[in-house]
Structure 1
Amino acid sequence: MIAFLKEVGRGKRGARDLSYEEALQAADEIISQRATPAQIGAFFMAERIKMESVEELQAFVEMLRKAAYRPEALPEGIDCAGPYDGRKKAFFASFACSFVLAAAEVPVTLHGTPSLPPKWGVTLHDMLHAIGIRPEELPRESLLHTARRTRVLYVPAEEWCPPLKELRPIREQLGMRTVLNTAEKLIDYGSSPYLAFGVYHNTVFDRLARLLTKLNYRKSIIIQGSEGSEDLFIDRPTRTYVVEQGNATLHVVSPEAWGLDTPVPEKDWTVAAQVEATQAVLKGEADMGLINQVVLNAAYRLHHTGRVDSVEEGLYTCKALLESRRAWEVYEEWSSMLSSAVKA
């Protein structure tokens, strides 16, 4: 490990990227914790300064995938990969969106953990606790059975990929973004051919497009969404990169093009507020800005997965699923099944 630290930790001008083979070795040392806590922290900080290369990111993703439980034979769907450090200023549209997609017969994989640095925001994990679901205490088969029935899989990432739990203390002590903030979102627990991946800065579009090509997704969309999430904005255009067959194309998604641009209410997005807004959207009783944001995101993902021929068709489909309360029925069944599940 010391040899790798000497290469990545020479400072901004002297540091070099590790080769793919070297990065695999470094990732293995860290994920297995054969490296010491001091070495792991030093590596994370050096990579943060240098910026991770595509090969280094790929190595960490593949080593985490190797360490994770990734069930086989799940229906093909979309993985919604948002930041594990949560949200403070933005509505968690992706959660409500997942039940709209499931109602449209598109399987969805969600995943997360209790909040992490640097943001320490509200996470999906926090929201599940608020509605009486403790996913970290549920057996895998309960989560999978619920997913097969409702088409929504939630993965408690630290339980299904134990190194993430083991490395949490170091990440909390550092208090900053590390290579794991990207890699953990790409473990792909459901072996999904489609991906919606959130980023904060558009400067990483090209690098992540090359990474996703190496990871062999059928079609990915990188979204510069609210708070670095995979959620398209509803009050302004969103920059996205669509990656398919090795090609990456910039698309700017403008809600105004479909008459959906709506102001979003400013509020303190606590756990309780996120849960209340999610349920109100699925019942059709929320602020129109929140409803429109969920409809736009669901329609875009429906088109992304090839289930509709256009975003316009997706909008009609998703509006109907909300108005008929079919999405709410899926949510009720999903939450009821997980609330009543007991760890064996």
Structure 2
Amino acid sequence: MSNAFRELLKKVGSGVHTGEDLSREEAAAATRMMLLQEATPAQIGAFMIAHRIKRPTSQELAGMLDAYEQIGPKLQLEGFGNGQSGIENEEDAATTSLLSQPVTVFGTPYDGRSRTAPVTPLTALILATAGVRVIMHGGDCMPTKYGVPLIEIWQGLGVDFSRVTLSQIEQLFKTTGLGLIYLPQHFPEAQALVPYRDQIGKRPPFATMELIWSPYGGDVHIVAGYVHPPTELRFRETLEMRGVRKFTLVKGLEGSCDLPRDRTAIIAISQPDVSEGFERLLLHPRDYGFAHQEAPLDSTPELIQQMQHVLNGKPTELMSVAIWNGGFYLWRCGVCPDLATGFAKAESFLTEGYALQKLQDIRHGIASLQLAHQP
């Protein structure tokens, strides 16, 4: 048993009247001890459920992120060129200028989606096609929702990030502008904590923190979804403590980064020039012709088939969802001057085959990396 961890557990688990919040340093220490299995299973489970009941503060989330940064993987971009764009025309100059922009990191719930069709992988392909560098992260189907995780969607599209090493992911990221950190393969310390989610039957505070975690060792644009409005404030405070200057926080579908179409999209974007440090956008889908009921998630095979139709330029309902999201993020990431231009560009990337070409580039990149490392 770790006596040091026991003292931290006592602080968060002493109840409403005598319990205390951890400092940033204490939260980082507790997280390190859990990741490194210095705390016992009983201590880890007790901490997770106690912290879940107490609710994490912004400084505690910052400390947890400090530990993840210290122990977890961090992709780098040394030697990164401008060959990641799938468009070889006058837009190359714009693509080159994007190399100086932060890397966009999508934070989506690790336990996936179960009701609405996710389009985050399509959004990532659209951005990578335009020269925006994108990182995602997550694991397998996991508690408590057991929804469709990102890794299964990518595998259905012919891209298996689970079969490549961390160094290969980094190389793929450098050459294609897109990568995914897969916990079981690339961050086993965090993966070892996943079973506790099932055992305690609730999402632990890690499930909140990981939405704004960045597995990149440089300047980032954090994109995170959330469900409950107080989470947005915690995210903003935590990111400020950690010096993250660019963020996009979305009250998205099932807590994801995907914009809703059946209600107003509530979005907080960083705005250093205003006193509050952020601006709240209220995007009404009807104003842009995208208002509609949300596309349902019937099954993973059907979702993959619909995505393949979109990438082949077929006018399906999911195409509209992909354009709505892709166009917004093209604007937010600085590719397009306004939303209308973003929607038009997202549509052209899909209907003219550029996003499909990016997907094929990623497939070929993984195949080449695996072939090069065969004995």
In the other structure, the counterpart of 1:303 is 331
In the other structure, the counterpart of 2:44 is 40
Which residue among 135, 143, 151 is the counterpart of 2:161?
135
Instruction: Look up the SS of the partner of 1:256 in the other structure.
Output: helix
CA contact (8 A) 1:12 1:49 kept: no
Deviation at 1:149, TM superposition (A): 2.7
In the other structure, the counterpart of 2:310 is 281
Which residue among 116, 123, 140 is the counterpart of 1:90?
116
Which residue among 58, 64, 67 is the counterpart of 2:68?
64
Deviation at 1:160, TM superposition (A): 2.4
In the other structure, the counterpart of 1:121 is 147
Task: Please list, as runs of the form range in 1=range in 2, the aligned pairs for 1:1-344 lying within 5 A after superposition.
Answer: 1-73=5-77, 76-190=102-216, 191-245=218-272, 247-268=277-298, 270-288=299-317, 290-338=318-366, 341-342=369-370
Deviation at 1:57, TM superposition (A): 0.7
Runs of 5+ consecutive residues of structure 2 not aligned to the other structure: 81-98
Instruction: Provide the rounded CA distance (Å) in 2 between the counterparts of 1:192 and 1:119.
Output: 32
Q: Please report the TM-score for the alignment, with normalisation by the length of structure 2.
A: 0.85
CA contact (8 A) 2:162 2:182 kept: yes
Q: Which structure's relative contact order is higher, taking Cα pairs within 8 Å and 6+ residues apart?
A: 1
Q: Which amino acid aligns with 2:143?
A: P
Q: Encode CA deviations 1:100-147: one digit per residue, 9 max, x unaligned.
A: 111111111111100221111010112233345442331223323332
Q: Encode CA deviations 1:32-78: one digit per residue, 9 max, x unaligned.
A: 21111111111111111110001111111110111112122265431
**Distance of aligned partners of 1:265 and 1:22 in 2 relative to their CA distance in 1, 3 Å threshold:** closer
4+ residue runs over 4 A deviation:
none
Q: Which amino acid aligns with 1:96?
A: L
CA contact (8 A) 1:95 1:278 kept: no
Runs of 5+ consecutive residues of structure 1 not aligned to the other structure: none
CA contact (8 A) 2:107 2:213 kept: no
CA contact (8 A) 2:114 2:297 kept: no
**Distance of aligned partners of 1:77 and 1:25 in 2 relative to their CA distance in 1, 3 Å threshold:** closer
Moved more, 134-143 or 113-122: 134-143
Q: Encode CA deviations 1:311-332: one digit per residue, 9 max, x unaligned.
A: 1221122122122111111112
Instruction: Look up the SS of the partner of 2:270 in the other structure.
Output: strand
Instruction: Provide the rounded CA distance (Å) in 1 between the counterparts of 2:296 and 2:6.
Output: 48
**Distance of aligned partners of 1:201 and 1:65 in 2 relative to their CA distance in 1, 3 Å threshold:** same
**Distance of aligned partners of 1:90 and 1:192 in 2 relative to their CA distance in 1, 3 Å threshold:** farther
Instruction: Provide the rounded CA distance (Å) in 1 between the counterparts of 2:156 and 2:309.
Output: 15
Instruction: Look up the SS of the partner of 2:18 in the other structure.
Output: coil
Instruction: Provide the rounded CA distance (Å) in 2 between the counterparts of 1:334 and 1:185.
Output: 24
Deviation at 1:286, TM superposition (A): 4.8
Q: Encode CA deviations 1:207-257: one digit per residue, 9 max, x unaligned.
A: 111112223223111111111101001232121222343713322222111
CA contact (8 A) 2:11 2:21 kept: yes
Instruction: Look up the SS of the partner of 2:15 in the other structure.
Output: coil
CA contact (8 A) 2:111 2:141 kept: yes
Instruction: Look up the SS of the partner of 1:12 in the other structure.
Output: helix
**Distance of aligned partners of 1:327 and 1:134 in 2 relative to their CA distance in 1, 3 Å threshold:** closer
**Distance of aligned partners of 1:161 and 1:302 in 2 relative to their CA distance in 1, 3 Å threshold:** same
Identity %: 25
Q: Please report the TM-score for the alignment, with normalisation by the length of structure 1.
A: 0.92
Instruction: Provide the rounded CA distance (Å) in 1 between the counterparts of 2:278 and 2:128.
Output: 27
Deviation at 1:258, TM superposition (A): 1.0
